[in-house]
Amino acid sequence: MIDKLEQLSERYDELNKLIMDPDLPRDQKRYREVMQEHASLSETMRAYEEYRRVVESLAETRQLLDGETDAAIREMAHEELETLEAQLSELEGRLRVLLVPKDPLDAKNAIMEIRAGTGGDEAALFAADLYRMYQRLSETRSWKVEVMSSSPTEIGGFKEVVFSISGRNVYGDLKYESGVHRVQRVPETESGGRIHTSAVTVAVLPEAEESDLQVNQEDLRIDVYRSSGPGGQSVNTTDSAVRVTHIPTGMVVTCQDEKSQLKNKAKALRVLKARLYEMEEARRHAEEAAARRSQIGSGDRSERIRTYNYPQNRFTDHRINLTLYRLDSILQGELDEAIGALKITDREAYLKDHA
């Protein structure tokens, strides 16, 4: 472990020098790569620096014990030794977790798809609640949210909403959100006060860059039509809505939110590429069975991952048996504790599988 940390420390020093190079920003692609690598190593290097400090303090304390005869000082040194050894053990465990290979997709932007499942209007309303939750989380992290397509309902919900989130480490933080999110609450339309259970499906896709995936134009069929809103009323009087079909897979993406046909086409193509890229990544992961088992969730959209219980103000993540009684603040975007716990559990599972 120490050899690996020393190698990373040398690389971190190199990156620090590169960042100081005034010519680096002229090559924007290279600049982004350097900054992302530097950011990904920062936490590990901070922990390693603390580890080295504790090791040095341990050596000094042991040296003091070897040459000290005063009983009171020796007792203090023994207490200090126990504290430092506990710190060292904790730091070693933390460093092992930090050294787990990072998923190269983690640094990518993401496209999220939220769809109402069982529960009718109530599920559509909860789909809108989840969308707002991710919006608020994005605000706290200075991420940018852009709606790609949506199917709103007349009462303020969403049958479906697809949106991109761009910023630092977006996919790495949001990839565990894929699955079925279950809500238990009394609907506004329920006069008897009975608790209903509804479900919403969330999918998180890494957004493909140009270098990640090439889509042949001859494999695409693009149709245009007139967009419509809730209840079927016409939104535009021109054929601005776009339907893109990927002929080899039969995958279809539609977009009608923009008044510009060109903008709708561009957004639809981004979503299509993300879905195709995820399909390819899923195939690759399926071939790596051991690595697949180490993950918290497969990303299977039929897997129930969460329950949001309004009467008890309870948030439960079933994959890691995490229950928090502050659902109200979580729906305001305060997901850091849940995301952090999922990351740690995933890394620990990897270490166990690769011990």
Domain boundaries, the chain: 2-98, 110-351
Phi, psi of 173, rounded to the nearest 5 degrees: -90, -25
Q: What percent of the chain has pLDDT over 70?
A: 89
- pLDDT score at 231: 47
Q: Which residue has the higher pLDDT, 211 or 106?
A: 106
Residues 6+ apart with CB under 8 A from 274: 111, 205, 206, 207, 208
Q: What is the pLDDT of residues 12-22, one digit of tens each?
A: 999 999 999 99
User: Looking at this protein, which amino acid is placed at residue 173?
Assistant: D
Common-topology check for domains 2-98 and 110-351 = no
Closest residue by Cα to residue 335 from 173, 163, 179? 173
Top-tier CATH class for 2-98:
mainly alpha
Q: How buried is 59 (Cβ within 10 angstroms: 0-12 exposed, 13-18 middle, 19+ buried)?
A: exposed
Q: Are 296 and 346 within 8 A, CB to CB?
A: yes
Query: For residue range 313-326, what is the model confidence (pLDDT) as tens digits?
Result: 999 999 999 999 99
pLDDT tens track for 329-346 = 999 999 999 998 898 888
Residue 293: per-residue pLDDT:
44
The arithmetic mean of pLDDT across residues 73-96, rounded, is: 88
d(CA 209, CA 214): 9
Mean of the per-residue pLDDT values of the chain: 86
CB-hemisphere CA count at 13 Å for 254? Answer: 14
Which pLDDT score, from 0 to 100, does residue 299 have? Answer: 44
Q: pLDDT of 15-66, one tens digit each? A: 999 999 999 989 888 888 888 889 888 989 999 999 999 999 999 988 888 8
pLDDT of residue 298: 42
pLDDT value of residue 287: 60
Residue ranges in the chain assigned as alpha helix (H): 2-19, 28-67, 71-98, 121-140, 170-174, 261-287, 289-293, 327-330, 336-353
Per-residue pLDDT tens digits for 152-162 = 999 899 999 99
Per-residue model confidence (pLDDT) at position 302? 64
CATH class of 110-351: alpha beta
